[in-house]
Amino acid sequence: MTTARDLMTPGAECVGEKETLVAAAQKMRDLDVGALPICGEDNRLKGVLTDRDIVVKCVADGGDPTKATAGTFGQGKPVTIGADDPIEEALRTMEKYQVRRLPVIDGHDLVGMLAQADVIMAAPGRAGRTVSDISEPS
């Protein structure tokens, strides 16, 4: 059985909930990623920040990314997958919540990130339906 741990990118770096969106964008650039987990001062996962969040929810609305913090985007309970959960569960979770990336946790610890592309490569027969279901507007 293939698990999230088997396909994830390990060692995901967080952006702190009090870091600015500019700092988050710079970290995304430096790491060559489009999303970062948001972690609190307690090292607990607070959410996920995407490059699209920065552009659409801050810049396009006239917000100031030098003052806005990553934590303002981490409201609510983050959608995650357990490290030892089967890949089928990751697909269901992505489809249900219409997300393309999932933080992978082991207990309360963030251990990696699982992207839609990682899962689709492991389950090519479901690729078309999965992409469609994740991208479908709610």
pLDDT tens, position by position, 65-110: 999 999 998 766 889 999 999 999 999 999 999 888 999 999 888 9
User: CA nearest 113: which of 25, 15, 21?
Assistant: 15
Mean pLDDT, residues 50-56: 93
Give the tokens for residue 92: 């269901």
CATH topology classification for 4-135: CBS-domain (3.10.580)
For strand 15-16 and strand 109-115, is the pairing parallel, antiparallel, or unpaired? unpaired
Going by pLDDT thresholds of 50, 70 and 90, the confidence category of residue 1 is: confident
Q: Quick count: other Cβ atoms within 10 Å of Cβ 63?
A: 14
**In terms of C-beta density within 10 A (0-12 exposed, 13-18 middle, 19 or more buried), how is residue 100 classed?**
middle
Contact status, residue 50 vs residue 25, Cβ threshold 8 Å: no
The DSSP string of 56-93 is IIIITTT--TTT-BGGGG--SPPP-EETTSBHHHHHHH
pTM over 0.85: no
Q: Model confidence at 119, in pLDDT bands (50, 70, 90)?
A: confident
Q: Which residues contact 92 (CB under 8 A, 6 or more apart)?
A: none
Domain boundaries, the chain: 4-135
What pLDDT digit, counting tens, does each position of 10-36 carry? 988 999 999 999 999 999 999 999 999
Opening angle at CA 85, ends 79 and 90, nearest 5: 50
